[in-house]
Structure 1
Amino acid sequence: MRKLLPIAVMVLCATAFASARAQAPGPAAAAQLAQPLSAADKAATVDLLAQRLSAKYIYAEAGDKMAAAVRDHLRKGDYEKIKTDEEFAKLLTTDIQAANPDKHLSIRYVPNARPDMPRPTAKQGMPDDMRQRMTEVGKHINFGFEKVERLPGNIIYLKFDAFFEANLGKAAATAAMNLAANGDAMIIDLRENGGGDPNMVAHVASYLLGDQKIHLSDIYYRADNETNSFWSDPAVPGARFGADKPVYVLTSGNTFSAAEDFTYNLQAIKRITVVGETSGGGAHPIQPFRIDPNLVAVIPIGRSINPITKADWEGAGVKPDVAIAADKALAKANALALRKILPAIKNPQERSTLEKKLAELEATL
């Protein structure tokens, strides 16, 4: 599964975990990294991991269960043959996933990992060095926005592969949504979108709604006993697509985290038609914790709550309204959009052209 890793404002998935790393190690540090792990190193790592799981994982009982599992593996000697941090990260991930499957949960090998920081908030922002690195990454990938294209029939096709940190990527999102505003229908392609920032989710969703403030979702953080709420913005910059024209969202098994947040919440208010495959099933915001100089535990510390369903998509994924293989989802959505807009087409020549296009699309399906 293609996923972009976490960082700044507790993104639901990740967006460049590399930017949380220090500089590449020099020769002396590299030599130190190559040293085999001692039994004491491994015991200390397991102990700290167990503490973090019990204290921080969103469900206390599951956190305690995973903590007990890794302590048990250590006691049985299951980690004795492990020699490197990289091997240790893989095995620890396997063990905690076996105790409690959660696709956001992992141990990562990160040389010279950054020390733990408080859970980021929109007000705090991110450290300057991280912001600089994230900005560089964002510019290189156009903050996740891959394509805005006008298809026959004035159907707008919008593809983006990350909900980038909103304070950095909002201008790109605004530009894309303004280009799309004059369409008569829209297809939003999230088949390769691995997630990102829930603030960006709310920003993009606002362009598909009216000028009233709508409660989209909540995120509850267990350790802080705090709930953050996300609402649509009645005053987004530029032109909005609006609340009435048809919108189709394409999904696949790679659609994950914040991309699922966007899809699930707009599906719940019946604003979109979801076309494609059931999504990946990750609804838990994460925070990185250093458990070794070169190991980081990525632990889900919160859970998403939809104000309508009172639930989320964790483990189950977002179910499409129109189920079809991911590689056929665009053609299917295009056909659905054409069928929707054709009755309003008065020009006989244009109508004939679009009917021919519709026939071609349906033949491929």
Structure 2
Amino acid sequence: MIDSFFMEPNPIMRHLLSAAVMILCVIALPIAGAQEQRPAATEQQSRSLSAADKAAAVDLLAQRLSDKYVFADEGSKMAAAVRDHLLKGDYEKAATGAEFAGLLTTHIQAAHPDKHLSIRYALNAPPDRPRPSLNQGMPAEMRQRITDMGQYLNFAFEKVERLPGNIMYLKLNGFFEADIGKAAATAAMNLAANGNAMIIDLRENRGGDPRMVAHVASYLLGDHKVHLSDIYFRAENETNSFWSDPAVPGARFGADKPVYVLTSGETFSAAEDFTYNLQAIKRITVVGETTGGGAHPVQPFRIDPNLVAMIPVGRSINLITKGDWEGSGVKPDVAVAADKAMTKANALALRQVLPKISNPRERTMLEKKLAELETAL
């Protein structure tokens, strides 16, 4: 069963989910196909790179950082850093593409830390493509691949469970591409709509499509549109806005019942988008750890036939804070170790719903459950 497979930090399943939700931070999807080829690329990785190959890759990387990185000054700083390392001969020791990619990543991160920024080895990487609009369809082959993977993973909706006190628990490990995964999201949120409270577990959620973020968030809000966030893209000087939809299919959980969101240091990207923006409008209570701190959507650029630069090309903007969670992460309202977050949120939710329970027998059972949770904490 997928549920039990996900409970362990299985690297193969994590890779599948990561590839399937590549739009979480990657604006152009074809790189996902290149990533999937990496396990078979051992022979290519072991081949040496010439000095000319390295110089050409560094030059192209520097150009892309200067032209595309979301902050122009920082892009220029990183470009200067890799050129300086090249002149010093620091890349001579990199014998393979994988080693060279690792060194480049280390050097640009040292110049300007950004958790979405990296150089990756990708055998036969596809050529660059223009950044598509978030509303632009993906190629049919990629759509089918993501759909097949999504169906196998139940579009990252791992569990919907009713807990004592009619508290709904939703475990969501990614925000799949909205056009593909919306039906699964609607089914999960409709199933949870009758709860007295909801706990949404994002502790293993590494991100996804911001449109899916808005879709899921819509079920937690009222019957009017809410401006959740913007994403600004530097190169095109373009801003995409994300709003809740008061007309989502089926039943909404609504804007009044308590919602707790569980976080960990692994919660990242679009999962942070969901948490940060709903926290800003005081719709949720965040329980757990400070999140990973990645707010910049990225676009892949090929700098060598087998090397791809994942460069952040945009930044998130919250209309209330005027900022985002880049580097700092989303701070929890109730700080607790990730492995205790569920217990803590369950206790908080029970305290909220207990006053509404009129049946003496049910109330006694829930009070006993609350005592057990608080003892465990």
Superposition TM-score tier, normalisation by shorter sequence = over 0.9
Q: Which amino acid aligns with 1:20?
A: G
Of 320, 328, 344 in structure 1, the residue corresponding to residue 332 of structure 2 is: 320
Structure-to-structure mapping, 1:58-207, within 5 angstroms: 58-207=70-219
What is the DSSP-based 3-state SS (H/G/I as helix, E as strand, rest coil) of the residue aligned with 1:213? Answer: coil
Q: Equivalents in 2 of 1:102, 1:122: separation in Å? A: 22
What is the DSSP-based 3-state SS (H/G/I as helix, E as strand, rest coil) of the residue aligned with 1:63? Answer: helix
Q: Which amino acid aligns with 1:89?
A: A
**Would you say the 8 A contact 2:37–2:122 is kept in 1?**
no
Q: Which amino acid aligns with 1:151?
A: L
Pairing 1:20–2:33 present: yes
Q: Which amino acid aligns with 2:126?
A: R
Of 211, 218, 226 in structure 1, the residue corresponding to residue 223 of structure 2 is: 211
What is the DSSP-based 3-state SS (H/G/I as helix, E as strand, rest coil) of the residue aligned with 2:24? Answer: coil
Q: Equivalents in 2 of 1:5, 1:79: separation in Å? A: 29
Q: Which amino acid aligns with 1:57?
A: Y
Displacement, 1:127?
1.4
Corresponding residue for residue 248 of structure 2: 236
Displacement, 1:10?
5.0
Q: Equivalents in 2 of 1:147, 1:17: separation in Å? A: 29
Corresponding residue for residue 344 of structure 1: 356
Displacement, 1:81?
1.7
**Would you say the 8 A contact 2:197–2:258 is kept in 1?**
yes
Once the two structures are overlaid, the 10-residue window that deviates more, 120-129 or 187-196, is: 120-129
**Would you say the 8 A contact 2:228–2:318 is kept in 1?**
yes
Structure-to-structure mapping, 1:204-353, within 5 angstroms: 204-353=216-365
Q: Equivalents in 1 of 2:211, 2:346: separation in Å? A: 29
Q: Which amino acid aligns with 1:21?
A: A
What is the DSSP-based 3-state SS (H/G/I as helix, E as strand, rest coil) of the residue aligned with 1:331? Answer: helix
Displacement, 1:22?
8.1
Displacement, 1:11?
2.9
Corresponding residue for residue 358 of structure 1: 370
Of 1, 4, 11 in structure 1, the residue corresponding to residue 24 of structure 2 is: 11
Q: Which amino acid aligns with 1:128?
A: A
**CA separation of 1:266 and 1:32: change in aligned 2, threshold 3 A:** closer
What is the DSSP-based 3-state SS (H/G/I as helix, E as strand, rest coil) of the residue aligned with 2:221? Answer: coil
Structure with more helix by fraction: 2
Once the two structures are overlaid, the 10-residue window that deviates more, 113-122 or 89-98, is: 113-122
**Would you say the 8 A contact 1:6–1:13 is kept in 2?**
no
**CA separation of 1:15 and 1:262: change in aligned 2, threshold 3 A:** farther
Q: Which amino acid aligns with 1:200?
A: M
Once the two structures are overlaid, the 10-residue window that deviates more, 8-17 or 121-130, is: 8-17
Q: Equivalents in 2 of 1:192, 1:347: separation in Å? A: 37
Displacement, 1:8?
8.2
**Would you say the 8 A contact 2:22–2:32 is kept in 1?**
no
**Would you say the 8 A contact 2:58–2:82 is kept in 1?**
yes
**Would you say the 8 A contact 1:97–1:105 is kept in 2?**
yes
1:156-204 residue CA offsets vs partner (Å, 9 max, x unmatched): 0000100111111111111100100010100000000000110000000
Displacement, 1:213?
0.4
Q: Equivalents in 1 of 2:284, 2:28: separation in Å? A: 25
- Compute the TM-score of the two structures, normalised by the length of structure 1: 0.95
1:113-145 residue CA offsets vs partner (Å, 9 max, x unmatched): 111111122332211221121112211211111
Matched residues, percent identical? 74
Q: Which amino acid aligns with 2:271?
A: A
Q: Equivalents in 1 of 2:68, 2:26: separation in Å? A: 17
**CA separation of 1:5 and 1:51: change in aligned 2, threshold 3 A:** farther
Q: Which amino acid aligns with 2:243?
A: W
- Compute the TM-score of the two structures, normalised by the length of structure 2: 0.92
Q: Equivalents in 2 of 1:147, 1:74: separation in Å? A: 49
Q: Equivalents in 2 of 1:262, 1:274: separation in Å? A: 11
1:193-246 residue CA offsets vs partner (Å, 9 max, x unmatched): 000110000000000001100000000000000000000001001111000000
**CA separation of 1:133 and 1:193: change in aligned 2, threshold 3 A:** same
